[in-house]
Structure 1
Amino acid sequence: MNKKLIIATLVSASLLAGCGDKVSGQKSPQGPLVVVEPVTVIDYQQGKQYVGRTEALEDVLITAQVSGYLKERFFTEGQLVEKGQLLFQIEPAAYEAKLASAQAAISQAEANLKKADLDFKRGQNLLPKGSISESEFDRLTAENLSAIAQLKAAKAQYHSAEVDLSYTSISAPFSGRISDSKVSLGDLVSPSSGVLTTLVSLNPMQTTFNLSERERLDLGIDYLDGSGEGKGNVEVLLTLNNGEEYEHLGEVDFIGNRIDLNTGTIAMRAKFDNPEQRLLPGQHVQVFLREKIPVQKMVIPRRAVQSDLEGDFVMVLKEDNVAERRNVIMGPQTVQGIIIADGIDATDIVMTKGLQRVRNGITVRVEATEAKDK
């Protein structure tokens, strides 16, 4: 019995020893599971958005330059009119009569001058012969000069009457859209009677906005050339109130000559083609001022960036799946991700998920790269 007990005890001890070896032979816990993505390089145009308002390049109040009864109107309210198109006709009869009278005055002055000139020339021939006195010759000279002056005055009166007559026909000074008429046919209009209608040009259009001095210098728009066109590598994009981007890019054509001491900003203006007349004066728009030539920038998902007391950093996957900390300097957020100005290379692979247990220098397990969702 004692022999059987000893054998059973030895067998039990062997079994327990085997189990102990099996437990001690288990592998140590594996590294944390992470998701990684490569750094993406994009073409980026630096810029900033401002609030602007559209304006017409030409905006004029149409008024009468002479007095008279309004005889006819030649436009439909709200229509597009061409430069030189007749808009209003003021009764011209009185001004035509003045013009005819001025023409008659010229004819009379020319006749007087002809007689005075003949008398003067006759006096020139008689004076050396002593047939007339010097005082008589002086009188003939004065009459001749007076006749010349009277002809000039008559021609000036004719020109004035001609101008007044031309003012009875009111034409469009430029092409654009006309508003409603403020007067009716038969009304007595004059320079003091107020606005007859208004006219604005629609193509091109312009928009005004303000930006800070630092932004102006950063974007390289600190000077203009002699033609008045904006210099620097910038272009302007408009976003309308319905969220749509305006299809025509604009260019800066005016920069103010001083900084506003109250706001610290400078006035700017950009010009846009507007062939479809989608833009109207007074329209609120979002103005995006950006560089013309894109530059390459590195972007990563925003969730890859962490922060601590040392600043912003990312975890980069190195050889043998070793995690490495990189301190980074972040740039602006884009649709593709966050721009990294410094701290990583274009060939790096960053960790985007599973970062809670990742520490610098540890080995990690890499999950299959997910589709980019930045």
Structure 2
Amino acid sequence: MKPDQNPKRPLARRWRLTANLLAVVSLAACSGEPSSDASQRQAKQVGYIVANTTNVPLSVSLSGRTVAFETSEVRPQVSGVIRKRYFTEGSYVRAGQPLFQIDPSLYQAAVNQAAANLASAKASADAAIAKADRFKPLADMEAVAKQDYTDALSSARVAKASVAQNAAALDTARINLRFTNVPAPISGRIGRSLATVGALASASQTDPLALIQRTDPIYVDMQQSAADLVALRRKLAAGGVKPGSTQVHLQLDDGSQYGFTGTVEFSEVTVSEDTGTVTLRARFPNPDGLLLPGLFVTAVFDQASHPSAFLVPQNAIQHDFDGTAYVMVVGDDGKAARRKVVTDRTYETSSVVTSGLNKGDKIIVQGLNGLKQGAAIRPVAASSPQPVGPPEQGSAAGAGKDG
């Protein structure tokens, strides 16, 4: 029998063809499109939060300077030599408390003279009045000329006016004598004495004798840009924001917080031509005297509030090359989608988004590294204990096992 006529050769050839066909089918199956379960395993797992509106205060930090609540210059109202000083420099004085004594000798003499003139005027007035009273019945009986009675009555009236004039002069002399004791016009801390004992004080002098400042409570004058204030007023008029609280907190130069809260009193009605700023004044309690006039501080307060803003973690805010801000959200098709937003400030640890988001949007805050528009994702709540990270290693291992 010839070799090619062996009956077992066609059977072996058929087995080889069958094996090759199975290998091709298997290879096609391995190299074909992955199943939906495999695609789901290869999708990147991301964590999201649900966007929700909240009332976000618009806080501003303004540089300010402390100003005494009341300031009064101690000035003499009469002239003379200073004989005594009754206060201790830097101490607390009360309104009406004597501070200086000016030599009262001349003023005491003026009081004595005015008193003597008044007594003389009263005596003259008594005589003139008595004469007029005697002439009246005589003039009625025509025992004396009516003109004599008229003159006597006029003299009596002049004498009464002289009494009033001398009484006023006596009051003036007594007031001047009282002014020789220079009192404190207000209660507060008095500074150093600007005049010594033996110095000549004058009612017309330009320099005060001392300065008194009341520092409890105390004012803080803050400077805000007029442009920022105008922008805020426009937002308030448009209804985009609401007026905020008037409570103010202070930060001192050393970075510490002042222990008391103040209140905004008013805002100036004019803009400074030199700085282009508007002055706002706040009032603070200062029972311990910690704040001294002239101290530089930083005032922080909620000037307004945005009632429908979104608070988004700062790591979720990304920026394009042109500076436009955007966030990645879970799209309606379950894929990552880019959403442009408007954010111009931060609040605590979050960015404040005022436009671009809708209530209920799922903002991706975890797994953002390398995430692009339209990428397949597996979103889970950011608060979920499930790990959020790239699953490529796990998916590759699973695919190897499946293969």
**TM-score normalised by structure 1 residue count:** 0.81
Structure-2 separation of matches of 1:73 and 1:317: 81
Deviation of 1:22 (Å): 6.9
Q: Which residue of 1 aligns with 2:208?
A: 195
Matches within 5 A, 1:172-187: 172-187=184-199
Does residue 294 of structure 2 align to residue 287 of structure 1?
no
Q: Which residue of 2 aligns with 1:24?
A: 31
Q: Which of 357, 361, 370 lines up with 1:348 in the alignment?
A: 361
Does residue 59 of structure 2 align to residue 47 of structure 1?
yes
8 Å contact 2:74–2:185 — kept in the other structure?
A: no
Q: Partner letter of residue 348 of structure 1?
A: D
8 Å contact 2:308–2:354 — kept in the other structure?
A: no
Q: Which of 132, 136, 140 lines up with 1:120 in the alignment?
A: 132
Deviation of 1:147 (Å): 1.0
Q: Which residue of 1 aligns with 2:378?
A: 365
Structure 1 pair 250–293 and aligned structure 2 pair: CA distance change class (3 A): farther
Structure-2 separation of matches of 1:93 and 1:330: 76
Q: Which residue of 1 aligns with 2:97?
A: 85
Structure 1 pair 183–361 and aligned structure 2 pair: CA distance change class (3 A): same
Does residue 144 of structure 2 align to residue 132 of structure 1?
yes
Structure-2 separation of matches of 1:82 and 1:17: 108
Deviation of 1:349 (Å): 3.0
Structure-2 separation of matches of 1:347 and 1:245: 38
Deviation of 1:205 (Å): 1.4
Matches within 5 A, 1:225-264: 233-235=244-246, 236-260=248-272, 264=276
8 Å contact 2:100–2:181 — kept in the other structure?
A: yes
Three-state SS of the structure 2 residue aligned to 1:202 is: strand
CA distances 1:220-277 after superposition (whole Å, capped 9, x unpaired) = 69xxxxxxxxxx6541333221222333333333333334566554333222222222
CA distances 1:92-142 after superposition (whole Å, capped 9, x unpaired) = 343233223322222222221111111122222222222322442333233
Q: Partner letter of residue 71 of structure 1?
A: R
Matches within 5 A, 1:4-23: 13=20, 16-17=23-24, 20=27, 23=30
Structure 1 pair 112–216 and aligned structure 2 pair: CA distance change class (3 A): farther
Q: Which residue of 2 aligns with 1:75?
A: 87
Does residue 137 of structure 2 align to residue 109 of structure 1?
no
Deviation of 1:355 (Å): 2.9
Structure-2 separation of matches of 1:118 and 1:253: 66
Q: Which of 303, 322, 325 lines up with 2:338 in the alignment?
A: 325
Structure-1 separation of matches of 2:323 and 2:201: 77
Deviation of 1:364 (Å): 0.9
Structure 1 pair 155–254 and aligned structure 2 pair: CA distance change class (3 A): farther
8 Å contact 2:52–2:359 — kept in the other structure?
A: yes
RMSD: 3.5
Structure-2 separation of matches of 1:160 and 1:293: 60
Deviation of 1:158 (Å): 1.0
CA distances 1:142-181 after superposition (whole Å, capped 9, x unpaired) = 3212212211211111111111111111221111111011
Q: Which of 324, 344, 351 lines up with 1:338 in the alignment?
A: 351
Structure 1 pair 214–158 and aligned structure 2 pair: CA distance change class (3 A): same
Three-state SS of the structure 2 residue aligned to 1:58 is: strand
Structure 1 pair 218–358 and aligned structure 2 pair: CA distance change class (3 A): same
Structure-2 separation of matches of 1:89 and 1:46: 55
Structure 1 pair 127–294 and aligned structure 2 pair: CA distance change class (3 A): farther
Q: Partner letter of residue 313 of structure 2?
A: P
Q: Partner letter of residue 363 of structure 2?
A: V
Deviation of 1:200 (Å): 0.6
Does residue 112 of structure 2 align to residue 100 of structure 1?
yes
How many residues end up aligned between the 2 structures? Answer: 361
Q: Partner letter of residue 224 of structure 2?
A: L
Structure-2 separation of matches of 1:98 and 1:310: 83
Structure 1 pair 301–233 and aligned structure 2 pair: CA distance change class (3 A): closer
Structure-2 separation of matches of 1:303 and 1:233: 28
Three-state SS of the structure 2 residue aligned to 1:201 is: strand
Structure 1 pair 307–293 and aligned structure 2 pair: CA distance change class (3 A): closer
Structure-1 separation of matches of 2:189 and 2:98: 14
- Name which one, 1 or 2, has greater alpha-carbon Rg: 2
8 Å contact 1:74–1:87 — kept in the other structure?
A: yes
For structure 1, the 5+ residue unaligned runs are: 222-231
Q: Which residue of 2 aligns with 1:57?
A: 69
Deviation of 1:337 (Å): 0.4
Structure-2 separation of matches of 1:295 and 1:155: 71
Matches within 5 A, 1:291-330: 291=303, 295=307, 297-308=309-320, 311-317=324-330, 321-330=334-343
Q: Which residue of 2 aligns with 1:266?
A: 278
Structure 1 pair 310–102 and aligned structure 2 pair: CA distance change class (3 A): closer
**Which of 315-324 and 341-350 deviates more?**
315-324
Structure-2 separation of matches of 1:292 and 1:11: 81
Q: Percent of counterpart pairs with the same letter?
A: 27
Structure-2 separation of matches of 1:292 and 1:132: 91
